[in-house]
Structure 1
Amino acid sequence: MDKGLTISQAAEYVGVTVKTVRHYHRLGLVDEPARDSSGYRRYESAELLRLVQVRTLAGAGVPLAEIVPMLDAGTEQFAAALADVERRLSGRIAALSARRDTLNRLADGDRALLPDRACAILDRMVEAGFHRDYVAGQREALVLTRALEPEGFDGFLTQLELRLDDSDYVDLIKRGWEAEFWELDDPRIPELASAMADHYLAHPALLGSPASLQAWADAPAQYRVISSHRHNQAPVAARLTALTEAKLRAAGIPVPGR
């Protein structure tokens, strides 16, 4: 009777498929045993041991291309190689965890693209009675700001928090939203723009810190993209913003040109 196991028996004992065993052979991870008198390859203890070692290392995340050098290395080199694999696996786990967190945040809308602090500001806008379309526009502006001017994003959030603490400013912004339904040449638009500019000048913190203002002045292209977002859909808002900025600029505030 022929000794050893057939390839299907060896695969079953080791816990892999026949296809996997043959793949290991093709890669040179496990030598193919000699054929018996009937022409079948018979797997004995040496081949089975090697299959178990390869399967265990592969299952632990060791790249197949690195398994042979590891098995052929001495004890110290083997331990060092395992430590290196562990470091790489830890990095992959961290990356996968971050992806999982992003997927979880996707289920919660804004939280996929914005940090909790920004989402809290949007929640405050809703609670303050801002129209949902206004809040949606602010959400998109926050996403753009975070992407285009990341270094100034936290400062911008502080600026929004201060504005929401100012009831007079909140009333002005709500009037600005109501102005969307006015005619483009309505005389109330320049009056409202003047009131907004005067309020900013009386409360300069609402415009941001000097460093923040200078950062926007140094990034006019980004500022134009963010500040003009949705203006093609809201011509009154575009005019109101332009008039307000013009008065601020005339007062020496470094607002980038449009």
Structure 2
Amino acid sequence: MLTIGELARLAGTTVRAVRHYTAEGLIDEPPRNSSGYRSYGTMALITVSRIKRLRDLGLSLDQIRELLGEKPRALDDALSTLDNELAEQEKRIAAQRKRIAELRASAEDPEIPGELGEMLRRLEAEGVDGKLLRWEKEALLLVTITSPESLGQLTEAYRTFWGGPVRSESLLRLMRGFQELASEPEDSPEVERLAENLLADNPNITAMMQRQEVGDVGPMDAMFTDFIDSFAPAQRRFIYLMAERAVGKESS
């Protein structure tokens, strides 16, 4: 009779695997010997060895269970099923590798594709701070998840920013100014100055924001508020001030 360690060694597997096969019901719980240790017999060794060999072929425990049952399934059927599954995996892997090759060749961001992804790359090329770029990307991802219908308007807004050298420089000034607000107090006059400059340089922003539909406040609004709360106080004040001024409200 064998201890669990001896059984695992002879079968070419691990003690952990033997315990897992037992928990899965593939081998019977063995009796304990006079010393209180579990003692495995010949059939347990044969069964564990079979499981190990079948696992090495790639069969799942459920498939192996069918092969070990009272009415065992034919091994050829199980291998045919496995072969079909592997063929499907090969197709998926080939498609994934093709997509990866396309992404590497184009430098496209798989998370933020299209013009918005291109905008992020342009900001990176212009030397915008990495933390600010990460915030910008996270904001775009949040919009993609919670409000995909507004992506067209958002793309139009960024397209406006990149409408020429002057506007592009305006966007870069905005990004850098927003970054500098992180070290400013909440009541800093730089908040109003940055908002006024942005609206003056980009008069179309007001029109674009006014075209957005205003819906009931819901969990998505709470998520955006939670996201904005991750910014420094002066940066948060700038975001809310911009929204108020763009729709013609007075700042509180």
Q: What TM-score does the superposition give when structure 2 sets the normalisation length?
A: 0.51
Q: Distance in 1 between matches of 2:18 and 2:129?
A: 64
The answer on whether the counterparts of 1:125 and 1:164 sit within 8 Å (CA) in structure 2 is no
The answer on whether the counterparts of 2:112 and 2:141 sit within 8 Å (CA) in structure 1 is no
Residue 15 of structure 1 corresponds to 12
**Paired residue secondary structure (1:73):** coil
Q: Of 233, 236, 241, which residue of structure 2 is paired with 1:239?
A: 241
Residue 183 of structure 1 corresponds to 189
Q: Of 140, 143, 149, which residue of structure 2 is paired with 1:142?
A: 140
**Paired residue secondary structure (1:233):** helix
Residue 104 of structure 1 corresponds to none
220 and 238 in structure 1: CA distance in 2 versus 1, 3 angstrom threshold: same
Q: Once the 2 structures are TM-superposed, how far is the Cα of residue 57 of structure 1 from its aligned partner?
A: 2.6
Q: Distance in 1 between matches of 2:7 and 2:196?
A: 87
Q: Distance in 1 between matches of 2:248 and 2:232?
A: 17
132 and 115 in structure 1: CA distance in 2 versus 1, 3 angstrom threshold: closer
**Higher alpha-carbon deviation: 51-60 or 13-22:** 13-22
The letter for the 2-side match of 1:148 is T
Q: Distance in 1 between matches of 2:8 and 2:199?
A: 81
Q: Once the 2 structures are TM-superposed, how far is the Cα of residue 124 of structure 1 from its aligned partner?
A: 0.6
Q: What TM-score does the superposition give when structure 1 sets the normalisation length?
A: 0.50
Residue 200 of structure 2 corresponds to 195
Q: State the Cα RMSD in Å.
A: 5.3
Residue 73 of structure 1 corresponds to 72
129 and 193 in structure 1: CA distance in 2 versus 1, 3 angstrom threshold: same
Unaligned runs of 5+ in 2: 31-38, 97-108
Q: Distance in 2 between matches of 1:136 and 1:196?
A: 25
Q: Distance in 2 between matches of 1:226 and 1:17?
A: 50
Matches within 5 A, 1:104-253: 114-115=111-112, 117=114, 118-128=116-126, 130=128, 135-150=133-148, 152-153=150-151, 156-157=154-155, 159-174=157-172, 176=174, 178=177, 183=189, 192=197, 195-196=200-201, 198-200=203-205, 207=208, 213-214=212-213, 217-218=214-215, 222=220, 226=224, 229=228, 230=231, 232-234=233-235, 235-246=237-248
